Amino acid sequence: MALDLSWPVLWDGLFWPLMRLTFFISVGLFVGNLIESLHWTRHAAKLAEPLARRARLKDISAASFSMAFFSGITANTMLAEAHDRGDISDRELILSNLFNSLPTYFLHLPTIFFIAAPFIGNAAVVYVGLTAFAAILRTIAITFAGRYLLPPLPEGCLPCRLDEMEKKRVKSSAFSKTWKRFKKRLPKVLYITTPIYILFFALKQLGMFGWLQGLMSGQVGLFSFLPPEALGIVAFHMAAEFTAGLAAAGALIADSHLTTTQVVLALMLGNVLSSPMRAFRHQFPYYAGIFKPKMAMKLIVHNQVLRGVSIALVGVGYALISG
């Protein structure tokens, strides 16, 4: 099958969708970064003290949890310094780092949502909601684990160091910070989105997905519950990054019979499969600069195992309810 490069086909199938997507991504990135810069999660940090007490985590772990709503680097630095001083054990360091999964996720939730929404529409609400629920489950699991794995805390008030840390933080304009992040991130997003949209336009014109459907017909595999188009989303999610999977989903969702459930499950599957190597590639150098390399590796492994299991469980539950 030859490519149809007539102007109506190019405009309706490629140029107009790309222009529309670029506009909404630009708006979404700016708004998401602005919300992050304004620290909209500040009030949620007040939950740290009672939650940390239930997990039998010390004051430094509670303060780290609070600071993780604003800066993951600051939160991890606090834990590393306390561990080096001997204030917290290896076990509490690992549990405290895992405990910070929820604020770390919520720190970037606005940007994740505002990037996903232009690509996959209403499915973004479901996907972000499910991954947020998985983060909540991880925190609940660590709270219960702490009660059984850590010794009881001494009586007395659990001091909160959030205000102290905030006073030391250099104040800067939320708008200027947002604009700086926006200018840095938008070209990277478009660099991924544009070639993927063009590729999927060409693959559809060439009948690639029809060929893939025929190739997979009758084949039973681990991911056979997803159609070939959805597996394409998983592949791009694994091969590149989150934006690539979204770009693939956005290019397919309007012109195929993929349901919201299939798109969400494909993104969650791609999330689970792609995260370990990406975490090692991007997270290990940063973690090794804060913690000792051996401990940095332990923390990444524990994080990825807990994260993968939680997302998989939520995904299976969502598939059963939707199916």
Chain position carrying tokens 């630095």: 77
Q: Is residue 46 part of a domain?
A: yes
Q: Is residue 165 part of a domain?
A: no
At 158 the pLDDT is 47
**C-alpha span between 76 and 303 (Å, rounded):** 13
At 295 the pLDDT is 92
Q: Is residue 144 part of a domain?
A: yes
At 171 the pLDDT is 46
| pTM (two decimals) | 0.73
Q: Is residue 149 part of a domain?
A: yes
What single-letter DSSP state applies at residue 229? Answer: H
Question: Is the Cβ–Cβ distance between 124 and 116 less than 8 Å?
Answer: yes
Chain position carrying tokens 């209403």: 122
Q: Is residue 164 part of a domain?
A: no
Task: Name the domain count of the chain.
Answer: 1
Helix (H, G, I), strand (E, B) or coil at 60: helix
Axis crossing angle, helix 72-85 with helix 260-290, rounded to the nearest 10: 40
**C-alpha span between 59 and 304 (Å, rounded):** 25
Question: Is the Cβ–Cβ distance between 52 and 204 less than 8 Å?
Answer: no
Q: Which long-range contacts (CB under 8 A, 24 or more apart) does 7-14 make?
A: 13/201, 13/204, 13/255, 14/197, 14/198, 14/201
Question: Is the Cβ–Cβ distance between 115 and 29 less than 8 Å?
Answer: yes
**C-alpha span between 252 and 235 (Å, rounded):** 14
What are the C-alpha distances in Å from 102 to residues 62, 135, 153, 211, 283?
13, 5, 22, 42, 17
Q: Is residue 159 part of a domain?
A: no
Burial class (CB in 10 A: 0-12, 13-18, 19+), 279: middle
At 137 the pLDDT is 94
Q: Is residue 1 part of a domain?
A: no
Axis crossing angle, helix 16-37 with helix 174-205, rounded to the nearest 10: 150
At residue 67's C-alpha, the angle toward residues 116 and 96, to 5°, is: 95
How many Cβ atoms sit within 10 Å of the Cβ of residue 33?
A: 24
Question: Is the Cβ–Cβ distance between 111 and 317 less than 8 Å?
Answer: no
At 224 the pLDDT is 62
Give residues with Cβ within 8 angstroms of 250, minimum separation 6: 21, 118, 119, 120, 197
The separation between CA 139 and the C-alpha centre of its own chain, rounded to angstroms, equals: 16
Q: Is residue 160 part of a domain?
A: no
Tens of pLDDT along the chain (323 residues)? 566 677 777 777 778 777 876 777 677 667 656 655 665 545 544 566 778 888 888 877 887 887 787 777 778 888 888 888 888 899 999 999 999 988 888 877 888 888 888 888 888 899 999 999 999 999 999 999 998 898 887 665 444 444 444 444 444 566 777 787 777 767 766 776 677 777 777 777 776 655 654 554 444 345 666 766 677 677 766 665 677 777 777 777 766 667 888 888 888 888 887 777 777 766 776 687 778 888 988 999 999 999 999 999 999 999 899 86
Q: Residue 209 has which token pair?
A: 């997905």
At residue 102's C-alpha, the angle toward residues 244 and 320, to 5°, is: 65
**Range of the structural domain that residue 213 is part of:** 7-154+172-322
Among residues 319, 317, 323, 295, the alpha carbon closest in space to that of 137 is found at 317
Chain position carrying tokens 């401990």: 295
